[in-house]
Amino acid sequence: MSLQNTTNGQDQRAFSQQVFQKVKPFCVQLTQEALMSTINESKVVSLLTAIEDELKSACPDGRTRAELILLPNIADYIFFPISNLLKKSDLSDAIVQHILSIIGYLVEHCWKFNVNHSLFDQLFPLVLFLIGGDSNISSSSINAKSLRFKASSVYTLNEVVHSLNNSYFSEAERRLHFLSKSIILALEILNSTRASDQEAVGVLVDCCQLIQNSVSKLDSEKKSTILPGIVSGLTNFVSLNSNINYRLFIQILRLLSSIICSSFNDRDLHANLNLDGVANLSEIPTVWDEDEKTLDGSERSDISIQEHGHRTMSWLIATSKQLKITLVILFKSLLLSSRNKDRLRTRAELSEEVLNFITSVMGSCFISLYNEFIPLVLDICAISVFASSWEKEDSNTKIVQICSRIMEVIETDDDKCNAYYEVVRGKLSSLIDNKLSVVFFSTDEDKVTLNLDAIKLHFAMLGRLSWKQESDSTELKSLKKRCLSLLSEMTVDYVKLENSKRPNSSSSAPSLLVDVNTSNQLDNIELPGHINAKNIKTVSKSKPASRLSYVHQLQLLSSEWNHNSFTSEGGLTIGLGSKVLESNLVSFVSFLSKLKYGGGNGLELSDLEGLLEDSMNSSALEKGVALWLASNFARESLQKSYDFDLSEFVNVESSDVIINDTSGETEAPYLLLLKAEEILDVFADKSGDLANFDDELAYASAIEAVRCVVGSISPSSFRSDVLMDYLLCLFQFLTMTNKPQIQSQAQHTLKAIVDCYYDGSLTKLILDNSDYLVDAISMQMTVASNLTPSLPGILIILIKIAGMQLLESNQLFDIFSDIFVILDSYHGYNQLVEGFFVVFEVLVEQVKQAFIKNDRAIENHKINESPFKPWGMMCKEQLMHFLQDKSHIDPLAEFDAGKEYFKRTDDKPFGEMDELGGDSDDEEEGEQKDEENIEANEEPWISPIPKVIYDVLKRIFNYGFTLISQPSYTLKAQIIKTLRLIFPLLCTDYKLVLPTMASNWSVLVTLITASNSLSTVVDLRTTLSREQINITIESLKFVTEILNQDKNQKEYFFSSKFQETWSFISKHSELIKKSSKVKQKTGIVVAEKALVTLESFPLLKESLVEFLIVGAQNYEKTIPDLTRFEILKLCYGLQIPQNLNFSRDTQCILEVLKTKSIPCT
């Protein structure tokens, strides 16, 4: 290359002149120092550094460093003092480092443009000597040098090698020695340097580039000679460095690809593959695990090459085996270290470079490396997929890309495709038999994922290769069927293993007809009445925490459910024992279902039949696992476009087009439903019994199978074939709060149904199927054995979602009638009654939301609310409003004094007119008027709640008072809670609720006094339990609300009832009593034992005081003063809560009590 062709001569001279002026003074001083007998090392290093800095800084504006060319005489001038220095012995590393950098600069900017072989014959060995010392010594000292020394060495060698062409090294044998020595030094630097920072990484990248440049100067024969050393050196470096920079990563792979492709090139070796022997390759599958033997050791080979030089068949067999072992170690270290995995996931170019390496080697060396590297290809790719993927879908995408790239390399050669098909088929068979168990029983999640990725990759590759096969895809179908069958068997084994680790638990069939509170027994022994079995503590072994009570489960269900109760599907499982395993299996089976292969299109019914047929006469667990796998296998392939039928828009003759066979896609949903029905029928036969975990998993699988077919069946068919059979069952599963996996599956199945067929509205689903649901629930209520715990839960959900619509359409009244019949027949079964009263509670809440509006308007003080208006005005504003009201009509305004309004016989008094009677016409007219008066006197319906719903609430209210006498405290609490919710709704027509309250007031009195009856009172100090106290508190709150409601209605109906209650409490209750005869004049006092109870339960005391205060204030005009004083005196002694509001009279009495400080005890 001439200087004139490189740069303009004028620019060259200007640059050279600039460099000369900068370095001249330093060169002069350096020459003087070099000619001295002993040199000043520090000064020499300083001068060399100055020369090096000036050379690097000399760069004209607008020119890059690569474009700068020095004149030869300037380069000789700069090298002259260096040559004098080189005559000195024992130069320090610091001096040699700068000398190497300056030599490298001179080669880069001067000597490489007009290569003088004689110059380089002297320069090359000089550089090698400066770097590594005497070439006769086997080991150099470069390992112990500093990083900057190594950087200068690599830089200089790179420039020297790059300056020389291939002919230079082929002309003389000794020049090859220079090249080999450069490679050895580069490998030594590579293995003695840690990639700890960016500077070190740069040196290592330059090392790889030096090796690449050096190898490129050799022919294939010579490359094959040094290949083992280079590959071994690179592998050693990678295994020692767990964190490899991405630039170094790419450089290593490119170097390996270059030297392997040159050494084993099929064209250079004239390699041929004997296809007759390919059929036996399945007997020698190879995998990347080092602990598995891949060959039987025989020398027989299906490969033949044209032997030349040292590259013989023996060399090929030995070197390829060694290469395989080395590559396994290299790629494991390169791809599986934690830091490299993070880098692979963030830099897509790294996994792309791995694939480039694979395709390059396969494209150039497929035949020569057929026995060793080709079986290893998919294993390396599997590791790359695993290491570079964040999610499973990401790995599936990479698998497809890998298969496409590999097919691009070999698809033009049918012989290679057929040979590779046999390799992949044999390896896949081995993976299924030997590695599938690792997926289930390994505790290493990474190993599980890696093995699954490997199996998926082999399946995908075999599917792509099957399109090039002339025969059908029977082998691939067989492998897929065998894989699914083993998955099913191993899943069952895994679940059984997990179940063996669970504590044994057995449960009998659940039923609401269980009376758990009607007997006072301990260890099946009936205790006397004065001993409460519940209060006796028993010592037993520690047990796991008990589950939520039945009523609490229903309340939890009620609180969680509303119109938007569906949750996201993230984390949905059927409960195999490991969420990671379950997620991996779902992904793997889904991948297999989407696998495309020659001779197979879409979902084939035989795939599902083969998966399900083995579980026909097996256990519930095996049926459930098989159905779960079949559902996930069919999910992606089932046609979801039920609402689009091309035949509705296009009229074509059947003979004109070829229609794809989709029988598998249309029959598959019904096959899955058939298997799901077999499992769910067992559930129905057991009346909802979930005796063990195997049953739970089977039912969860059946529910998921129903969700799987959603969208693949038309709405009408789905309603008749699915919802009619499974909807009530799904609602039943939805109530199982103690079985979260089953409940979650049912929830997501219902969500899929409403999203697909009912525009996301669960209300539409219920209303569209209300006839069936109501009939099915009514049928269950007619059989005692069908009264399962899920029945109230189903009603709760229906009422929560569509209760008002069902009530307005008269569809719930039959169910409530059945409930009332059941309450009449089985009122002694507390759990049954509790469940239905929770249902009533939910109904009341829905009625309140629908018909009772919260009035937040500011009170209008002008309006007189008194029932005796216009009397009863309370303020001046009401009086002014009455006087200014234009709408008021004077009842005498239209009286006409001249008109006779009464007719009578002359001289007859009014009293005798009735005795005279009248004619028949007058009698008929009178009857008609009576009928009209009756119709006119019929009061209009004033409640905002419709009459039919009001009647249902009133009936529930009456049943509550009837059943509240049951001994169960939890039942009492639930009934009181329901009564408190219903009462405000019934007060919307206050006159209708008063008779019920009047007839049941005595029941309330027994509750607020903790009495068994109005004639028997329980001793507070000795026998009142915490449950009794809680019932008393809730009852006091209830009666207080009744009194407040009576005041709001301004009826004051309960005045006498309150006084009767006070009389009972003051005369008969142990809560308070008359004092002794000595202190008789002081009145009512608190009994000592009652005082202890009240102090122990502050809420009881507050509730009692509030009840008495409210009653005394509401009816203060009708209660005798002395009685009211005694009530307030008692409350004062018990301490009145601060949050109560007092009337004026009450305030006066309290002031008197404060002044006189009358004692309460």
> pLDDT of 1009-1059, one tens digit each?
877 766 544 444 445 788 888 899 999 999 999 999 988 888 788 889 989
Q: What is the pLDDT of residue 914?
A: 52
Whole-Å CA distances, 633 to 304, 448, 669, 709? 44, 20, 12, 12
| Residue 511 pLDDT | 52
**Plot region of 90 (φ>0 → left; ψ -120 to 50 → alpha; else → beta):** left
Residue with the bigger pLDDT between 969 and 889: it is 969
- For residues 1124 and 1084, the answer to whether their CB atoms sit within 8 Å is no
Q: Are 45 and 98 in contact (CB under 8 A)?
A: yes
Contact partners, residue 1091, CB within 8 Å, separation at least 6: 1161
pLDDT (average), residues 433-448? 84
Quote the tokens at residue 419: 């040979």
Indicate if 1136 and 1029 belong to the same structural domain. yes
Average pLDDT over residues 612-641: 81
Task: List beta partners, residue 273.
Answer: 303
Domain identity same for 1032 and 1141 = yes
Q: How far apart, in Å, are the Cα atoms of 353 and each of 216, 348, 404? A: 20, 9, 15
386 falls within a domain:
yes
Instruction: Give me the pLDDT at residue 69, please.
Output: 87
Last residue in a domain, options 974, 996, 1018 = 996
pLDDT at residue 619 is higher than 60: yes
Say if residues 106 and 79 touch (Cβ distance below 8 Å).
Answer: yes
Residue 541 lies in a domain: no
**pLDDT tens sequence across 226-236:** 999 999 999 99
What is the C-alpha separation between 309 and 322, in angstroms, rounded?
Answer: 20
Taking the C-alpha atoms of residue 589 and residue 487, their distance in angstroms, rounded to an integer, is 9
Confidence label for 1078 from pLDDT (cuts 50, 70 and 90): very low
- Residue 468 CA, chain-centre distance (Å), reads 41
Q: Looking at residue 352, what is its pLDDT?
A: 93
Statement: residue 405 has pLDDT above 90: yes
Residue 1075 and residue 695: Cα distance in Å, rounded? 67
| Structural domain contains residue 612 | yes
Length of the chain, please? 1161
* The pair of three-digit structure tokens given for residue 935, joined into one six-digit string: 């119709």
Measured distance CA(704)–CA(708) in Å, rounded: 6
Model pLDDT for residues 848-887, shown as the tens digit of each residue: 988 887 644 444 555 666 656 677 777 777 777 777 765 5
Query: Coil, helix or strand for 428?
Result: helix
Q: What average pLDDT does the segment 641-651 reach?
A: 46
The rounded percent of the chain whose pLDDT value lies above 70 is: 76
pLDDT over threshold 60, residue 1121: yes
* Alpha helices (runs of H) in 874-1011, residue ranges in sequence order: 876-884, 913-916, 920-937, 947-963, 969-986, 990-999, 1001-1008
**Domain around 1089:** 1000-1156
CA distance 483 to 677: 26
Residue 605 and residue 465 share a domain: no
**For residue 146, pLDDT beyond 60:** yes
* Domain final position from 996, 1017, 1038: 996
283 and 359 part of one domain: yes
Q: Decide if 682 contacts 609 (C-beta within 8 A).
A: no
Q: Is the pLDDT of residue 522 over 60?
A: no
Mean pLDDT of 952-962: 92
Q: Taking the CA atoms of the chain, what radius of gyration do you get in angstroms?
A: 49
Q: How many domains does the chain have?
A: 5
d(CA 749, CA 710): 8
1000 pLDDT band, cuts 50/70/90, is very high
Q: What is the pLDDT of residue 653?
A: 47
Reported as a single tens digit per residue, the pLDDT across 364-378 is: 999 999 999 999 999
**Statement to judge: residues 280 and 402 lie in one domain:** yes
Which residues lie across from 1085 on neighbouring strands? 1073
Per DSSP, helices labelled H in 617-769 are 620-635, 663-685, 693-709, 715-718, 724-734, 740-757, 762-768
For residue 303, give the H/E element and its range: strand 303-304
Q: In angstroms, how far apart are the furthest CA atoms of the chain?
A: 174
**Whether 753 contacts 710, CB under 8 Å:** yes
- Given a cut of 60, is residue 1118 above it in pLDDT? yes
Q: Which of 22-36, 44-58, 784-798, 1104-1118 has the lowest mean pLDDT?
A: 784-798
Q: What is the mean pLDDT of residues 744-767?
A: 90
How buried is 824 (Cβ within 10 angstroms: 0-12 exposed, 13-18 middle, 19+ buried)? Answer: exposed
Q: How many CA atoms lie within 13 A of 960 on its CB side?
A: 29
Among candidate residues 30, 68, 76, 73, the one with its CA nearest the CA of residue 49: 30
Average pLDDT along the chain: 80
Q: Identify the pLDDT of residue 134.
A: 63
Residues 1120 and 1028 occupy one common structural domain:
yes
Q: How many Cβ atoms are within 10 Å of 693's Cβ, its own excluded?
A: 18
If pLDDT is split at 50, 70 and 90, which confidence band does 1159 have?
A: low
Residue 988 has pLDDT above 80, yes or no: yes
Write the pLDDT tens digit of every residue in 767-822: 998 888 888 888 888 877 777 778 888 888 888 888 888 888 888 888 888 888 88
- Which is more confident, 543 or 707? 707
Whether 182 is covered by a domain: the verdict is no
Burial of 107 from C-beta contacts in 10 A (0-12 / 13-18 / 19+): buried
Helix then strand then coil, in percent of the chain rounded to 5, is 65, 0, 30
Tell me the mean pLDDT in the region 373-386: 93
Nearest-angstrom CA–CA distance, 1043 and 1111: 7
The more confidently predicted of residues 367 and 739 is 367
Q: 552 and 403, same structural domain? A: no
Residue 648 has pLDDT above 50, yes or no: no
Confidence check: pLDDT of 961 > 70? yes
352-375 mean pLDDT: 94
Given this model, what pLDDT does residue 301 score?
57
Question: Of 237-246, 320-329, 854-863, 899-908, which range is least confident?
Answer: 854-863
Mean pLDDT of the region 126-140 = 74
Least confident range of 135-144, 650-659, 806-815 = 650-659
DSSP track, 270-299: T-EE-GGGGGGGGGS---S-TTS----S--
Mean pLDDT of 54-72: 73
Residue of 1044, 1059, 951 lying closest to 1001 (CA atoms): 1059
Q: Which range (549-558, 645-654, 858-867, 1015-1024) has the least confidence?
A: 645-654
Candidate from 474-483, 641-650, 865-874 with smallest mean pLDDT = 641-650
Statement to judge: residues 439 and 479 lie in one domain: no
379 within some domain = yes
With vertex at residue 104, the alpha carbon angle to CA 102 and CA 110, rounded to the nearest 5 degrees, is 95
**Residue 385 and residue 284 in one domain:** yes
Among 104-118, 534-548, 683-697, 830-844, the minimum mean pLDDT is found in 534-548
- Tokens 């690599």 label which residue? 154
Q: Are 460 and 479 in contact (CB under 8 A)?
A: no
932 or 810: whose pLDDT is higher?
810
Does some domain include residue 192?
Answer: no
Same domain, 319 and 358: yes
* Lowest-pLDDT choice from 283-287, 735-739, 1135-1139: 283-287
348: pLDDT strictly greater than 80: yes
> Does the structure show a pLDDT above 90 at 912?
no
Region of residue 274 (phi > 0: left; psi between -120 and 50: alpha; otherwise: beta): beta
With a cut of 90, say whether residue 740 has pLDDT above it: no
Q: 295 or 314: which carries more pLDDT confidence?
A: 314
Average pLDDT over residues 968-973: 88
Q: How far apart are CA 457 and CA 462, in angstroms?
A: 8
- Do 1067 and 973 lie in a common domain? no
225 is a domain residue: no
| 428: pLDDT strictly greater than 90 | yes
Most confident residue range from 5-19, 61-75, 440-454, 634-648: 440-454
Give the pLDDT score at 856. Answer: 41
Taking residues 457-468, what's their average pLDDT?
A: 90
Q: Higher model confidence: residue 523 or residue 803?
A: 803
Average pLDDT of span 1098-1110:
89
pLDDT in tens, 188-214: 999 998 888 899 999 999 999 999 999
Q: Report the pLDDT value the prediction gives residue 403, as an integer from 0 to 100.
A: 94
C-beta separation of 182 from 225 below 8 A = no
Mean pLDDT of 1071-1086: 46
Query: At 1080, is the pLDDT very low, low, confident or very high (cuts 50, 70, 90)?
Result: very low
Whether 418 maps to a domain, the answer reads: yes
Query: Are 797 and 719 part of one and the same domain?
Result: no
The answer on pLDDT for 981 being more than 50 is yes
Q: What is the rounded CA–CA span in Å between residue 968 and residue 948?
A: 31
* Average confidence (pLDDT) over 345-364: 93
Per the model's pLDDT, the better-predicted residue between 834 and 139 turns out to be: 834
Count other Cβ atoms within 10 Å, centred on residue 3.
15
Looking at 85, 114, 143, which one is the last position of a domain? Answer: 114
If pLDDT is split at 50, 70 and 90, which confidence band does 913 have? low
